[in-house]
Structures are given as C-alpha cells and as structure tokens.
Amino acid sequence: MNCPALPPLRLPRPSTAAAVTAAIVLCGCANYFGIHSDKRMAAPASYEAAQSLPAEDGQWPSLDWASQFGDPQLPGLIAEALDGNPSIAQAQARIAKASSYIESSKSALYPKVNGSYSWNREIYSANSIYPPPFGGTWYSENNALASASWDLDLWGKNRQRLGQAVSQEKAAEADMQQARVTLAASVASTYNQLARLYAQRDIAQREIRNREDIGRITDGRVTAGLDTNVERQTAIGNIATTRANLTDLDGQITVVRYQLGALLGKGPDRGLQISQPVLAPGGAVALPGNLPADLLARRPDLVAARWQVEAALHDVKEAKAEFFPDVNLAAAAGFDAFGWGKFFTAGSRQVQFGPAIHLPIFDGGALRSQLKGRYADFDYDVATYNQTLVNALNDVATQVSSIHSIDRQQADAQRALEASTSAYQLSVVRYKAGLSPQLQVLSADQNRLAAEQTLTDLRMSRRNMQIGLIKALGGGFDATKTGLVVPTDVPVAQAAQSAQGLQASEATPAAAN
C-alpha cells in the first residue's frame, strides 16, 4: 500500500518558534486567577464603645499591679508562680520551637555546600560494556565530590517562609505573655477567694458567739420558767448548725490552699504554708483614654492574633510564589578514578555546573488548591482576630459595669447591715427582759447574719472584678516594651494595606507567569 505524499516539512524561524513556545507555556502555566480573599481586620473604631468605655484619664495597669491591694504576700506568690509554673514552661517551649523554624527558614536564603566520598569494590562483567582489562576484573573506584547549590529565590518564596516563621515566633511570645497574665490573675483571684473564705469564717465565729449568748439567755429564761425546753433545744441546734458551717469553711479553705499550691507549680503542701490574706479594699476605677485603640498593644491575646494574621499573609505570598519558576544554580567538582594511583591526577577531574529552572505548567490543580487553603487560613485568622477584639472590648465593658453595679449595691448593703444589727441588738435586750419571744431574736439574728455575709461577698466580688479588669486591660503587658509591636506600629492599617496589595496582584496573575 502506498502512503500519500506528505507536504515538505517547514521549520519555523527561531523568533517564531520562541513566540509559539512562550504562548504554549503561558497558556498552560498554572495560575491563581480568581483565588482571593475579601476579609479585613476590624478597626476598634468600627465598634461603638464610647458610652460603655468612656475616657476617664485613668492609667493602664503596671507590671506590679498586685501591690495596690496592700498585701505583701500576693506579689510574692505571683512572682513565684511565674517563675516555675509548667504552663509558662510549655509556652517557652513553643517559642523555642518557633525559633528553630526561623533558623531553618534562614538557611534556605544562603548557598549550600556539601562534600561526599565513596569507595566501591566491584568485579565488572566481561560480557558487558566494559572492555578488557576492566571486564572480568576486580577494581576499586574512588569518588570524591564537592558540590554547591543556591536557590536564587527570585520571587521571594523563601523570604516569605522566613517572614512566616518570624511572625509565628512573635505569636508564640505573645501567647506566653497571655499565659503569664492569665496565671497572675488566677493567682490573685484564687488568693482573693481565700480571703473571702477567711472573712466568712470570721463571721461564722462571731455568729457562734452570738448563738451561745442567746443560748445562755434561753437557759436563764427556762430556769425562770419563761421558756420551755423547746426554746433550749432550738438554741442548742442553732449553735451546732453554725459550728458545722465553720467546719465546712475550714474544709473549703484547705481546698483553696491546695489550688494555690498547684497555681504556684508546687505540691499541695506549699498551699498550706500560705498565711491568711490581709487584702485591702480595691481602689476607684478609672479607664485610660483612647482605650479601644490602645487595647491592641495592651492585650497579649490581641497581639498574638495580629501576628497570626501576619503569618497567614506570608503563607499566602509564599503559596503565590510557587506559581513562578524556581532558578537554582548548582556546581560540583571532584575526582573519580579506578584505584588510587591516578585518583588525584588531572585526568580524574570531574566538573559540572549550570542553572536548573523549574516552572509549574500542569500540576492537576495542586498549587491552586494549596493557595485556596492558605487563603482559608488567612480568613480564619482574620475572623479570629476580629472575634478576639470583640471579646476584649466586651470583657472590659463587662468588668467595669460589674464594678459600678457592686459599688451601688455596697451602699445599700451597708445600710441593711446597720439596720439589721440594730434590730438584732434591740431584740436581744427585749428577749432578755422577757418582752419578746426567742423566735423574734433568732429571726433578727438571721437577718443580720445574711446582711453581713452579703456585704462581705460584695466587697470580695468587687475586688475580684477589679482583678478581672486588670486582666482585661492586659495585666501590665505593653507590646512596645516587649518587641512584639507589628512592623508599622499600626497593626490594623498594615493588615488592610497587605490585603489590598494581595487583591491588586490578583488582577493579572496569568501575565506574571
């Protein structure tokens, strides 16, 4: 069978061939067209908080904020907890791990040099490609090679990876600061709970004395025939109930001591060595000016969330750089010879050098999928930051509102205690004089006891709310003094600019390839 004649083959001119090749590469080149994010980090001013968080010319908490409560034991306990607590050690380990990633990422920016040597003893086949005298003979082959390579990182992929590692380390450092603030506040709050229990214990002891006084009056009235054994047994039962309450408070005090021992990173016996608290009442509360904006540098959890967004931005840029060609320079030199006689001679030299270019063309969508995942991480971190900001503003407002509410309640509770104490004293006098029954005395005593417990709880709760406010305001943390401020000192503005830059670069992704 005869084949049809084929037209003569005409090769394109070199310039035409180059254009066709470039067109094919560009059409088939992997690109990130259509992949983007419209998420933005919220500015504090976007949340209305002027009424809830008015500027009152107050001061931000200092690092020694615990000293304001007048108990020298509390600052010492906080320092002890921060010194050796396992939670702080865990945070420090995370920082060390993040730091190791920085060193690893830095290494990719520099050339790499390696050396190798191999020795092989081999009998070569007499029926293969090796002619005599090599075929059928044992020979030793020595190979020594020194090689060097350098990724030029033309599109900044390695630099973005380094930036991501640095941001992750900063986030880990901020997380450690958050752990320190949380631990210090937990120690202070638990210590305040110990003070509350001791205050309630003092009330219980006084109540036992009051019930015993009523019991003695009842005994006298029973002897005089004014009361019966019913009133006597009632008085005895009330005394026993109050003593049981005292025993319960002692048990709670021991448990809280154990909790303090654990917060200090020590055994339970350490908690038993803590002296009874002598905390002073909390002072007046005045919020600092420009609170929402300055809170970004005062709350370590916000700083950590901001650095996490920064790390996500670097991740996105690194993923975009994967779409562009990698250019690596490589060179190697050494010696290769059979035996030792000619190993280091000029004829045994081996030298190789040249660039290596890697360009993704068809990858089944792997790079686009990776970029989508990085954008999803970015969106998640932005949403986390925004939620953290909302929670921070709400946390401060809640603590302030609770303090103001308790301040108003304390005035009424103080009046209620004074009135119920006066009523109790009058009822005791009337009961002793035989002008009123025991039930009236017991009722007045119960009212007085409830009023005293309420006022004590309000005072302790107020101090606990003040500790909570200190924590909500950052607990003495200041990003400007710890090297954790973002590069522009304006975190939100920088994030917005970075995000806009990402979208601007997405307008013509194929042209970049």
Give the integer Cα–Cα distance in Å for 297 and 288: 13
- Number of CB atoms found within 10 A of residue 75's CB: 18
In the structure encoding, which two tokens stand for residue 504, read together? 């601007």
Per-residue pLDDT at 458: 95
Phi, psi at 5, each rounded to 5°? -65, 140
Per-residue pLDDT at 15: 52
Distances (CA, A) of 239 to 188, 226, 371, 426: 34, 21, 73, 21
Contacts 24+ apart (CB under 8 A), 194-199: 194/253, 194/256, 194/257, 194/260, 194/274, 194/276, 194/277, 195/277, 195/279, 195/460, 195/463, 196/456, 196/457, 196/460, 197/249, 197/252, 197/253, 197/256, 198/253, 198/276, 198/277, 199/456, 199/459, 199/460
Q: Report helix angle 300-321 to 366-432, nearest 10.
A: 170
pLDDT mean by block of 10 residues, the chain; 513 residues: 39 47 50 85 86 88 92 95 87 88 85 88 78 76 86 87 91 93 95 96 95 92 90 94 95 97 93 94 85 91 94 92 87 82 80 84 85 93 94 94 93 95 94 89 94 95 95 93 71 43 41 33
In the structure encoding, which two tokens stand for residue 46, read together? 């976007």
Per-residue pLDDT at 208: 95
Burial degree of 198 (CB within 10 A; 0-12, 13-18, 19+):
middle
Q: What angle do CA 37, 42, 47 make, to 5 degrees?
A: 145
Strand order in the sheet with 138-151: 112-123, 138-151, 326-338, 349-358
In the structure encoding, which two tokens stand for residue 249, read together? 């408070």
Preceding amide of 133 cis, omega within 30: yes
Give the integer Cα–Cα distance in Å for 160 and 165: 9
In the structure encoding, which two tokens stand for residue 352, read together? 């190789």
**Which residues lie closer than 8 Å to 255 by C-beta, 6 or more apart?**
none
Domain boundaries, the chain: 37-109+181-324+365-512
The four Cα atoms 356, 360, 364, 368 give a dihedral, to 10 degrees, of: 130
In the block, residue with structure tokens 């990724």: 151
Give the integer Cα–Cα distance in Å for 486 and 306: 8
Domain 37-109+181-324+365-512 classified CATH 2.60.200.20?
no
Per-residue pLDDT at 29: 62
In the structure encoding, which two tokens stand for residue 268, read together? 């339970």
DSSP 128: S
